Amino acid sequence: MFLPRTALFPPIEPYRQGMLAVDDIHTLYWEECGNPDGLPVLFLHGGPGGGVTPRHRCFFHPQHYRIVLFDQRGAGRSTPLGEYRNNTTQLLIDDIERLRVMLGIEQWLTFGGSWGSTLALAYGQAHPERCLGFILRGIFLCTQPEIDWFMHGIRWFFPEAHDEFIARIPETERADLLHAYEKRLFCDDPDVYMPAARAWSRYEGSCLFLRPEPEAIDDFGSDAVSLGIGRLEAHYFLHRGFFEEDQLVRGIDRIRHLPAVIIQGRYDVVCPPATAHRLHQAWPEAAFHIVPDAGHAAAEPGITSALVNATEQFRLGRGFI
């Protein structure tokens, strides 16, 4: 009998970790946790630029899964932090493949939320033969309407957070916030780009949860988080994720045969449910769960429970239901 699990697994430490140089600029942090002989699972963090945390190891049964986590280019403990040169979706996909080959893994379950769901879909469509299935949360397809929503639409639900977001931008530039932030985030003066990065990152952190989480806002406002989040999200938004128009929906046939679950907070303001619904319409074979009392964050209790249950269902060979 399958008993649903409502909490994360206990904290664990990596049994192996390292730094992987992928070009003349970028070196990636990676780690492995759990069972070295277990079923491989790849964790893809959000952002872009968000990085992994110890909590991310705990969505998976540590005796069953070989858990692989890494910080994408410019994120977390990868160096240089916030670096946007040589940073594209295709290069991130190449990095995943390089890591897979280095670790000697043939196939793995792919787990990603928010931008992690975007990258999971892009990687899966590029290398479907390497994927065992997908656990996706807070779907983001990096289309222009979603980018416009983030920059301007969230104000309908978080007007005070949006007011702080635009406070440093002159009124004459506020009609095009993305390019206004571009001028500030990608200049060479830290006295200009760091305040812009903090403002961008705190804006997102303020909107993640159904109920306010001051600690999350403070964390997103830290230098260690905000430079990666602010610069890289703007960088990828400016290039529409380096995708062709609606690429991730049009490419679903490449992964349609693989098991998948889509988990979405009903009151997710950062990545609204309409995007997850649209993905499911294109991919009806995927299981689809709307968490009725949750926003965007994986730390929302209902979303945490749904994600852990998904990894457990896959572990027990039940597919996704």
For the cut 80, the answer to whether the pLDDT of residue 113 exceeds it is yes
Report if residue 321 sits inside a domain. Answer: no
Q: What is the chain's length?
A: 321
Catalytic positions, written as ranges = 114, 268, 296
pLDDT bucket at 215, cuts 50 / 70 / 90: confident
Domain count of the chain? 2
Domain boundary among 194, 221, 241: 241
For 230-263, how does the pLDDT look when each residue is reduced to its tens digit (9 = 90+)? 999 999 999 999 999 999 999 999 999 999 999 9
**Strand, helix or coil for residue 113:** strand
Residue span of the structural domain in which 154 resides: 144-241
Q: Do 153 and 135 share a domain, yes or no?
A: no
Q: Are residues 68 and 181 in the same domain?
A: no
Which residue in the block uniquely carries the two structure tokens 């997908």? 134
Give the separation between CA 217 and CA 221, rounded to whole angstroms. 6
138, 87: one domain: yes
| CA dist., res. 302 & res. 294, Å (int) | 6
Identify whether residues 177 and 127 lie together within a single domain: no
Q: What is the mean pLDDT of residues 28-47?
A: 98
Does residue 320 sit within a domain? no
Q: CA-to-CA distance for 123 and 96, rounded, in angstroms?
A: 8
**Residue at which a domain ends, from 195, 225, 241:** 241
Q: Are residues 77 and 155 in the same domain?
A: no
| The amino acid at 230 | G
Residues 147-178: pLDDT tens digits?
A: 999 999 999 999 999 999 999 999 999 999 99
Q: What percent of the chain has pLDDT over 90?
A: 92
> Which of 164, 140, 135, 160 minimizes the C-alpha distance to 150?
140
pLDDT at 1: 45
3-state secondary structure of 41: strand
* 302 in the same domain as 166: no
Question: Are residue 78 and residue 208 in the same domain, yes or no?
Answer: no
φ, ψ of residue 220 in degrees (nearest 5): -70, -20
Residue 124: phi and psi, rounded to 5, are -60, -40
Do 232 and 174 reside in the same domain of the chain? yes
User: Of 212, 241, 270, which one is at a domain's C-terminal end?
Assistant: 241
Q: pLDDT band for position 3 (50/70/90)?
A: low
- List strand residue ranges (DSSP E) for the chain, in order: 16-21, 27-34, 39-44, 65-70, 108-113, 131-137, 260-265, 287-291
In a domain, residue 275? The reply is yes
Are 107 and 206 part of one and the same domain? no
**Is residue 204 located within the same domain as residue 93?**
no
What is the model's pLDDT at position 166?
Answer: 97
Q: Please say if the pLDDT value at position 2 is more than 60.
A: no
Contact call for residues 104 and 57 (beta carbons, < 8 A) = no
Q: What is the spatial distance between Cα 67 and Cα 315, in angstroms, rounded to a whole number?
A: 13
Q: Which helix (H) or strand (E) holds 180?
A: helix 177-185
- The percent of residues above 70 in pLDDT, for the chain, comes to 98
8 falls in which pLDDT band (50, 70, 90)? very high
For the domain that residue 29 is a member of, what is the CATH number?
Answer: 3.40.50.1820
**Of 41-45, 161-165, 171-175, 208-212, which range is least confident?**
208-212
